Each structure stands twice: as C-alpha cells, then as structure tokens.
Amino acid sequence: MVCIAVYKNTRLRRTTSLYIIALAVSDLMSAVFVMPFALGVLITGEWVYGPVICFFHSFFGGFVVYVSPVTMGLTAFDRYMRICKSEQQYKKIFSPWKSRAWMACAWFFIACYSAVPKLAGLLDYAFIPGFATCTVGHLDQTGKVVHFAIVLCFFLLTPLLTTIFSYIKVAKMIRQHNVAMSSTIHRGATGSSINVQELKLSKSLFVVVFAFMICWIPFWVIVVVKRFHVVEKMPRNIELLTRFFIYLSNTINPFIYAGMNPIFKSEFKKMFCSERRFFNRINPQHSESNTAATKRSTRTAAL
C-alpha cells in the first residue's frame, strides 16, 4: 500500500519517500518469506520444509532483522539533515541519486553479511524451536561472540544512537516551530525554510521510530539472553515474544503512516474506495442490497 501510494501521488515522490518505501519493502519481505513458515511451525510444532527452505528462511529472516534498523537510522539522519540543516547541506548528502546509493550500499552489504558466512562455512543455519524459525547456528563460541559483536554494533547500536541523536535535534526544531506558530522555519544565516508538510512527515516518522524501538530493543535483549545462556532455562512464551515483536513492528508501520500523514491517509482512502467500487461493479446485487439496506435504515431513523 505504501509503495502504491508513492507511485500514484507525485507529492510523495521525495527523497525521504525512498526510505519509507525501503521500510515497506522490508516489512513485505517479512510478511512473504518469514511469517508464513513461522506460522506453519507454530501449527505443526516442527520444521517440515526441508534444509533448502530453512536456508532461504534464515537468510530473509536475518536480512529483515538487520536491514530494518539500518534503514531506520538512515531515515532519521535524513530527517535531521532536512529539518536542521540548510538546503545546500542536505542535498550534498541526500540528493536523489546519493540517497539511492546509500540505500543500495547498505542493503547490499547486509545481504552479503547474511549469505557469505554461511556459503563460506563460517556459520550454519539451524532450526531453533524456541524461536519457531530457522536462524543462525554458530559453530563455536568465538564465532558466536564475533557475530553478535558485529550485529549489535553495526545493525543495532549504531542505527539506534543515530536515530536518537537525529530525532532529539528534530524534536527541538519542531518545538521551536510550534512555539513560533509559523508555517515555515526561517534560519537567517542559511536563508532556507522548511514547510509544514516536511514537519508533519518528520512527526509521523518519529512515531514510526518510537514504535520500532519499543519492539526491537526487547527483541534483542531476549535473543542475547537466550543465545548466551544468561538464564538457565527461558520460558517458551518469552522466546516466542521475539517473533511477536518483529511481526508487530512489520504490521503497525502502514497504520502509523495512515494516521499521521494526511497525504498517505488520502491515498489509502482512495485505494479502499476504488476497490469498493470495483467490487460493486462485479457484484451489482450485493451493491443494490447494501443500498436498499441503507435506505431502510435511513427511513427507520427518520420515523
């Protein structure tokens, strides 16, 4: 829905929309390549899909887990540069082609990190019953420590700290805008201005990032505690919370876009209305019955 909205509405085709689309694509990948197999495991109680599907499930599961925080960090830094810096400074780093290059490089690096160690025999993919998924299986303790050091440093803490720093600065700028009660922020020395739509987009992305942090920080705490045996035995319900937090994060983003951004909200309404009209065209009897029921309820209310 997010991708279709950006495609149909030219006002949404801005640099920041690239990162919103990337988040939507990562959510879609999780919904298509990860969630269905996890659901099957929860129903059957075991992995019944074979080693090849386990490889692809582990790859996409790890890729989504790694790429989402990195994309969030790039999104937050984009907002910081757009709101808090001049137009010239922003375009030096986040011009349209540079933004695509940043995103392509980040996704390519993460895809390589997810696939190459397995193909090189440095780690394995295995089914973890507690997580109801296939994921990374470490060959030794040293490999496990190195793997989690890289993942936590580059795919969690760095994006998280970047996000916190960026949105503290953005929130301060938005607060100044609200106090001034102005539709534009003017910075005398730079001569640049930020319109109200940019501020609204920043607010909606701030909510996305806040919800993201609520979901992903507990996820990583549970994973680290489980993998390094910090507790002797972890309850199965707590282990399954890791899946719940990821899938919740993947699910709520479109609702946040619709609730916080008027343009996205308008496009989503248009899509739902067009689908309703199409359904009524192919089912005219259903449409007529709904119309008749509406008229009857109107007459009853009038009486």
Over residues 235-286, the pLDDT tens digits come to: 888 888 888 888 888 777 666 665 566 666 666 667 667 655 555 566 555 4
At 36, list the tokens: 């269905």
Longest dimension (CA), the chain: 78
* Residue pLDDT, tens place only, 68-95: 889 888 888 988 888 888 888 888 888 8
Q: For 94-98, what is the mean pLDDT?
A: 86
d(CA 129, CA 85): 48
Res. 107: pLDDT tops 90: yes
SS (H, E, C) the chain: CHHHHHHHCHHHCCHHHHHHHHHHHHHHHHHHHCHHHHHHHHHHCCCCCHHHHHHHHHHHHHHHHHHHHHHHHHHHHHHHHHHHCCHHHHHHHHCHHHHHHHHHHHHHHHHHHHHHHHHCCCCEEEEEHHHCEEEEECCCHHHHHHHHHHHHHHHHHHHHHHHHHHHHHHHHHHHHHHHHCCCCEEECCCCEEECHHHHHHHHHHHHHHHHHHHHHHHHHHHHHHHHCCCCCCCCHHHHHHHHHHHHHHHHHHHHHHHHHCHHHHHHHHHHHHHHHHHHHHHCHHHHHHHHHHHHHHHHHHHC
Between the alpha carbon of residue 77 and those of residues 29, 81, 84, 90, 197, the distances in Å are 24, 6, 10, 10, 18
Q: What per-residue confidence (pLDDT) applies to 150? A: 92
What pTM value is reported for the model?
0.76
For 172-225, the pLDDT digits (tens) are 887 776 666 555 544 444 444 556 666 666 666 677 777 777 888 888 888 888
pLDDT at position 259: 58
Token pair, residue 250, equals 């993947």
Mean pLDDT of 152-164: 90
Question: Would you say residue 301 has pLDDT above 50?
Answer: no
What pLDDT digit, counting tens, does each position of 42-67 carry?
Answer: 888 889 999 999 999 999 999 999 99
pLDDT at 271: 66
